Amino acid sequence: MSRTVLVVGGGGREHALCLALSFSASIDKIHITPGNAGTQYFGTNHDVSASDILGLVQLSKELDVDFVVVGPEAPLCDGLADQLLQAGIPCFGPQQVHAELEGSKLFAKKTMDAAGVPTADYDVLDASSNIDACLDARSQEPWVIKRDVLAGGKGVVVTSVRAEAVAFIQQSIETDGHVLLERFLPGEEASMLVVMDKSGYVCLPPSQDHKRVFDEDKGPNTGGMGAYCPAPVVTEGIHRKTIERIVEPMFSHLSSMDLPYRGVLYVGLMIDEHGDPYVVEFNVRFGDPECQVTLPLIDGDVGELLYSAAKDQLSAIEVSFHSQHALTVVLASEGYPQSAIKGRIISGAEHGNDTHETWISHAGTMRDEEGNLVSSGGRVLSVTSIAETLQKAHDLSYQRLQHIRLEGSHHRTDIGHRAL
């Protein structure tokens, strides 16, 4: 087999996808759009934006690709998979009707109710609601308030400060018409990525992200400051419960629909003190940076896995995993996540220094006119290592990070702390 693939997106996740695809015997050519300064080492970067649906379909046709792998959620919510399928091009990434699982928190809740999947119970508040009474009814624990739109990680507030809760609720109702108030779930979070199509599913090893910007999980939420895989918080027993209570019912529900789910279902878990898993969120794509630590643990042809899911042929392939550990640390620009300072020169991140043990995934990087590597986003790059132990992967990533220079940049120094 020698397939041509187009990867849509330009973050660390897409760099990780390109790296895994470059090791896949089934993949001959990789195209990426828009890509970043790192993805160019694996194929050809194009300049069609990930939000230009018609442009992406046109590009896929021009390149005569065998399939498309969609990194981010926004084009899926805008119907990219539907348009590609209409043009006869297989797509790894679900159609619009399923992308709503990420695009609308209320849709996700209703789907979980229909499928009998455990999640926090919730109220829907609108202009006619008595906000104070609703907050009183859930005043024993912090309030969890969720906007019902794609908000790029800024749509959720968890707070014990009443004034903050009221302000966020009022603001959300004003802009969106309604908002969700849900029960606070105490526990530890983990991410389970499940590759799924009509014929079956494959659970990838569970991982753990670090969403807060500062050490000890302090400061505002970010897209993710680092991750490791596998996450021991998901014990064998919890893994089994997650499959029985969450993955199986979701698979039954989704595979019984007219349009099957094809892609990866990201299950954001909260595991309570009894070891019972609840769904905090669904995403319809690989997590970033979870992707960077999950793909390297797949023992085999990742291109074949993704293509099979795009073709509803997952049940026909065997997937196994390396018994190793991967850990990634994100390097962020000064000011991230509030307002990132961009355009600064990055040194020490040369591709030639990457090894099979430790490598860099570019995210917010580009080349300036002189060919310098410069920062172009909040999360600039991440350093990933794979080793026999989590401690070794941790040490390798932090050692490599020491050689990278970007003025004002910051990173967490405690990635993996819950497991180490």
Interface positions with ligand AMP (CB under 6 A): 120, 144, 146, 156, 158, 182-185, 189, 211, 268, 280-281
Q: Which is nearer to ligand GLY, 14 or 288 (CB)?
A: 288
Q: Which does 290 bind (CB under 5 to 8 A by kind): ligand AMP, ligand GLY, none?
A: ligand GLY
In 3-state terms, what secondary structure has residue 188?
strand
Q: Minimum Å distance from CB 185 to ligand AMP? A: 4
Q: Who contacts 232 (Cβ-Cβ below 8 Å, separation ≥6)?
A: 419
Comparing CB distances to ligand AMP, the nearer of 39 and 104 is 104
How many CB atoms are located within 10 Å of the residue 273 CB?
A: 8
Report the Cα 319 to chain-centroid distance in Å.
Answer: 21
Query: C-beta of 289: minimal distance to ligand GLY in Å?
Result: 6
Residue 372 one-letter amino acid: N
Q: State the minimum distance, in angstroms, from the CB of residue 161 to ligand GLY.
A: 25
E strand or H helix at 111, and its extent?
helix 105-115
Q: Are 385 and 375 in contact (CB under 8 A)?
A: no
Per the CB < 8 A criterion, the answer to whether 231 and 190 are in contact is yes
Residues shown for the chain: 420
Of all residues in the chain, what percent are helix, strand and coil, respectively (each to 5)? Answer: 30, 30, 40
Closer to ligand GLY by Cβ: residue 32 or 267: 267
Which CB atom, from 73 or from 182, has the smaller least distance to ligand AMP? 182
**Strand 298-299 to 320-321 pairing:** antiparallel
Tokens of 310: 């795009």
Residue 182 interacting with ligand GLY (CB under 6 A): no
Q: Binds 219, which of ligand GLY, ligand AMP, none (CB < 5 to 8 A, cut-off by type)?
A: none
**Strand pairing partners for 203?**
194
Of residues 184-213, those binding ligand GLY (CB under 6 A): 209
At its nearest, how many Å lie between ligand GLY and the CB of residue 16?
A: 12
Considering only residues 220 through 249, tell me which ones interact with ligand GLY, judged by CB under 6 A: 223-224
CB of 312 to ligand AMP, least distance (A): 29
Q: Which CB atom, from 223 or from 364, has the smaller least distance to ligand GLY?
A: 223
Q: How far is the CB of 57 from ligand GLY (least distance, A)?
A: 25
Q: Give me the amino acid identity at 142.
A: P
Decide if residue 382 touches ligand GLY (CB under 6 A).
no
Residue with tokens 């073709």: 311
Q: Which is nearer to ligand GLY, 90 or 223 (CB)?
A: 223
27 or 327: whose CB is closer to ligand GLY? 327
288 sits near ligand GLY (criterion: CB under 6 A): yes
The helix/strand count (H/E) of the chain reads as 13, 24
Q: Two tokens at 119? A: 């999640």
The stretch near ligand GLY (CB under 6 A) out of 62-70, 256-264, 281-289, 322-330 is: 281-289
290 contacts ligand GLY (rule: CB under 6 A): yes
Report H helices in 195-323.
Answer: 236-242, 248-255, 290-294, 302-310
Q: Which stretch binds ligand GLY (CB under 6 A): 92-100, 249-257, 286-294, 318-326?
A: 286-294
Residue 352 burial (CB count, 10 A): 5
Which residues of the shown chain bind ligand GLY in the complex (CB under 6 A)?
209, 223-224, 283, 287-288, 290
